[in-house]
């Protein structure tokens, strides 16, 4: 176990995802369908290359589950990108991270998993954070809030489907299915809603896939370098990086209620990761 390496990898991973989030915010005049298309198309270059280089079969063995994961994941991505147009990027990312809560609730009914009482307490803390954000901060856009929470629910369902797939498929195959589906979905939906990007926006569109891939690959390396209980809480640094970029680049303002709500959401989730890794085997 190499903790220093894991910290370094998660730094680059969270920075990569934060840059992708900021790029989506910058492209506010570009249709969300196009953003999904370019983000996915950019990553396909890397996933296809990896599969071909390592001679891994592109077509998986459990196509129904792979397609289901891809459709649900692509829908979640689209709704999240749409929500960023209505919310500050730090708030949107924080709310998207409620996905593990919805995953745990669905796992109780779909996978017959048990959730410990203390875990429910941590989830309640996170939900209180959501209530603080919406109930005490009148600047939160209701439409954006609904979009990102639905995205989080769908993301939670993705966790369930991946759990069903287990280790029967190579991770790169799962990601590749996701990127292919998202590219097709974004491309088809863009046909009747195309907004021609400005010359200055094209480089940012093409950078989406690069940032997404950097975030994904370094996160994978981090989990390989150290144990989950050390690495998993570090992914929430993405919220800090994203919010900082929002303040510096987009002049976003975070009220005391914003910060309290975000702290409660992330705090509850970090405590849950810590508890699961330490006491649940």
- Give pLDDT, residue 1: 63
Q: Give the Cα separation of 88 and 252 in Å (integer).
A: 7
pLDDT tens-digit series, residues 74-110? 999 999 999 999 998 888 998 998 888 888 888 888 8
Q: Give the Cα separation of 235 and 15 in Å (integer).
A: 10
| pTM, two decimal places | 0.88
Q: With 0-12 CB in 10 A as exposed, 13-18 as middle and 19+ as buried, what is 109? A: exposed
- Give pLDDT, residue 10: 85
Domain count for the chain: 1
State how far the alpha carbon of 169 is from the alpha carbons of 49, 66, 256, in Å. Answer: 17, 9, 45
| Average pLDDT value for residue range 39-52 | 89
CA 1 to chain centre: 26
Task: Decide if pLDDT at 7 tops 90.
Answer: no
**Domain interval for residue 159:** 3-279
Sorting pLDDT into bands at 50, 70 and 90, what band is 72?
Answer: very high
| Average pLDDT value for residue range 131-158 | 86
């Amino acid at each position: 176990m190499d903790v220093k390496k894991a910290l370094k990898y998660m730094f680059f991973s969270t920075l990569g995802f934060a840059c992708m989030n900021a790029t989506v915010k910058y492209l506010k005049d570009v249709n969300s369908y196009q953003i999904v298309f370019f983000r996915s198309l950019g990553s396909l270059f890397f996933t296809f290359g990896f599969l071909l280089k390592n001679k891994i079969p592109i077509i998986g063995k459990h196509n129904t589950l792979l397609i289901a994961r891809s459709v649900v994941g692509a829908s979640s991505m689209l709704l999240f990108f749409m929500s960023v147009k209505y919310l500050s990027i730090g708030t949107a990312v924080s709310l998207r991270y409620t996905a593990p809560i919805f995953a745990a609730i669905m796992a109780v009914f779909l996978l017959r998993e048990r959730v410990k009482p203390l875990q429910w307490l941590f989830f309640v803390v996170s939900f209180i954070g959501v209530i603080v954000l919406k109930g005490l901060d009148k600047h939160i856009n209701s439409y954006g809030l609904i979009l990102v929470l639905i995205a989080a629910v769908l993301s939670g369902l993705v966790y369930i489907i991946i759990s069903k797939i287990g280790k029967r498929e190579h991770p790169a195959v799962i990601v590749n299915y996701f990127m292919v589906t998202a590219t097709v979905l974004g491309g088809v939906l863009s046909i009747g809603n195309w907004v021609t990007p400005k010359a200055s926006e094209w480089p940012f569109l093409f950078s989406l896939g690069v940032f997404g891939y950097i975030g994904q690959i370094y996160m994978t390396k981090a989990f390989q370098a150290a144990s989950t209980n050390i690495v998993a809480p570090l992914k929430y640094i993405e919220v800090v990086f994203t919010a900082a970029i929002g303040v510096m680049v987009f002049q976003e303002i975070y009220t005391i209620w914003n910060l309290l709500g975000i702290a409660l959401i992330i705090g509850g989730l970090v405590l849950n990761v810590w508890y699961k890794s330490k006491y649940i085997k």
